[in-house]
Structure 1
Amino acid sequence: MPEDQVTIYDLTTRTFTSIPQSELASGMVRGQVVGHEGVVWMEAEQLKISDYRHPPFTGDRKLEVLTLVYAFPGVYEQTYAFWEDGFRRDLNPDREIAVWKHIAAVYGKHARGHALAYRQELFSLVLACSSADAERIGLIFQCAVIPDHDYREITRDYYGQ
């Protein structure tokens, strides 16, 4: 059976190419390109910070972002200003906030009562789940601390299976 292909976008040449998913290099990040349908992969080193696309957050959106400040204690502690800054630069901040809320929910469910090393790997796993589909997560992430039965439960929870 032929291997699934992924689209690579080269920011320097502004060209799209297709490669087998197994050939994705480390340092590639998943994203979207305005005017192009679907997900593309880009070299993280080529990315630059965009200007603000949205005004400072208020109301419910601000409260949603504020929950992320406290979602990953000891593992990924960021200020409200950090989170808002990134989301204000996104094309679709509500979608990105929803992704991070889902990451936080799965992380929170499985982090309780575990040591720091477990929680760090859990964060990395759930973050990896956000950029890979359920069939491919095992190709891009190998657990060193999390037991197999926990891994299966975490990925089931992330992907809703």
Structure 2
Amino acid sequence: MNANDLTLGPVVHDTLNNDQIEKITKIQIAFSEVNPSTLEETISNFKRDQNPDNEIAIWLAMARAYEKFMLTHKEIGLDKKKEVYQLILMRSMEDEEAILAKANLTLLNNKEIAEIFSYYNFEAKPIAVIQK
């Protein structure tokens, strides 16, 4: 399925608590350079999740992996940062072997890919797609 064909589901939670908002803010800040979503859009997206705490935990793990990689690779350009983000996003949904079989990574080398994978240790959680 093409990601451009996806539409957002309805808002499930009218509000999120302060702890959730604080964590979502950290996530949005961590990815602000590589993901153009505003804080308001990011909060809205989490309101659409059946279990926002689980999704927040996944995204916090992704943010930690991204930030850890960036600590030792401060001089990389924006295109490479976007590739790091995409790799971590893919890893959150699929195992490493599946990603390597189909990913079109052009800027990251094998050592960097292995390093990024080592920073993200959550089990892959595929996106649930409901066809209408």
Of residues 49, 61, 64 in structure 1, which corresponds to 2:20? 61
Report the CA distance shift for 1:94/1:51 in structure 2 as closer, same or farther (over 3 A). same
Q: 3-state SS of the aligned residue for 1:109?
A: helix
Superposition TM-score, scaled by structure 2 size: 0.79
Deviation digits for residues 9-53 of structure 1 (CA, Å, limit 9, x no counterpart): xxxxxxxxxxxxxxxxx526xxxxxxxxxxxxxxx62x4433221
**Residue 108, structure 1, aligned to residue 67, structure 2:** yes
Q: Which structure: larger Rg?
A: 1
Alignment: residue pair count = 119
The alignment's TM-score, normalised by the length of structure 1, stands at 0.66
Which ranges of structure 2 fall in alignment gaps of 5 or more residues?
123-132
8 A contact 1:134–1:159 mirrored in 2: no
Provide runs of 4+ in structure 1 moved above 3 Å. Answer: none
Structure with more of its chain in helix, by fraction: 2
How far has the Cα of 1:152 moved from its partner? 0.9
| Aligned twin of 2:117 | 155
Task: Say if 2:2 is the partner of 1:27.
Answer: yes
Q: CA RMSD for the aligned pairs?
A: 1.9
**Aligned-partner Cα distance in 1 for 2:9–2:114:** 37
1:107-157 superposed Cα distances (whole Å, 9 cap, x missing partner): 111124122122111011111111111331211213211121111111122
Contact persistence 2:96–2:117 (CA under 8 A)? yes
Q: 1:133 aligns with which of 95, 102, 108?
A: 95
3-state SS in 2 of match to 1:97: helix
Higher relative contact order (CA 8 A, sep 6+): 2
